[in-house]
Amino acid sequence: MRGIAQVICMTVFVLAMAAPASGGAKMVVGWLEKARISPGNLVVRAKLDTGAKSCSLGVHSLAEFTRHEEPWVRFDVKNKSGDKLTLEKKVQRWVQIKRHGAELQKRPVILLGICFGYFYKEVEVNLVDRTDFNYPMLIGRSFMAGSFIVDPSAKFTVPPSCTESQSR
């Protein structure tokens, strides 16, 4: 009986959260989803982390350079299928990331378009070597706020389905 009461309470909670006062519905997503990054339309696996403020993207061959007297970076992104995308992006700023049990790490922050389900947003993303992690992208609260509810028991529930015009 206790299990049924918990399910009913959770269902009521989810329904209440899915219909905010503003009238817009929030998308229920799993803790692990696929996201399409733009430009390039490369689909990567992304872990949703409600404990992280910002988004991170795992990159390879990160190189800093100057263009028109401004800092830029060139980097490669690879997905699980082995598809690779090389991008050059202007550095918006640098951040110091506190890592659990390790020293602060300085990372470049760029603007990147992310398609997640039918939702598209350009958001700041910090770049880091995530070779030792299972998922190349981490989606933080700055992307999810006001639009998503994370169901920790679900994964791969909403394939990226933004239209081409949304991804430009």
pLDDT (tens place) for every residue of the chain, 168 residues total: 555 545 434 443 444 444 444 447 889 999 999 999 999 999 999 999 998 899 999 999 999 999 999 999 999 999 888 899 999 999 999 998 877 777 888 999 999 999 988 899 999 999 998 777 788 999 999 899 888 999 999 999 999 998 655 554
Q: What is the pTM of this model?
A: 0.79
SS3 3: helix
Question: What's the CATH architecture for 22-155?
Answer: Beta Barrel (2.40)
Q: How far apart are CA 56 and CA 146, in angstroms?
A: 19
Q: How far apart are CA 92 and CA 8, in angstroms?
A: 46
Q: Give the Cβ contact number of residue 147 at 10 Å.
A: 15
The backbone torsions φ and ψ at residue 12, rounded to the nearest 5 degrees and listed phi first, read -60, -40
Q: Which amino acid would we find at residue 106?
A: K
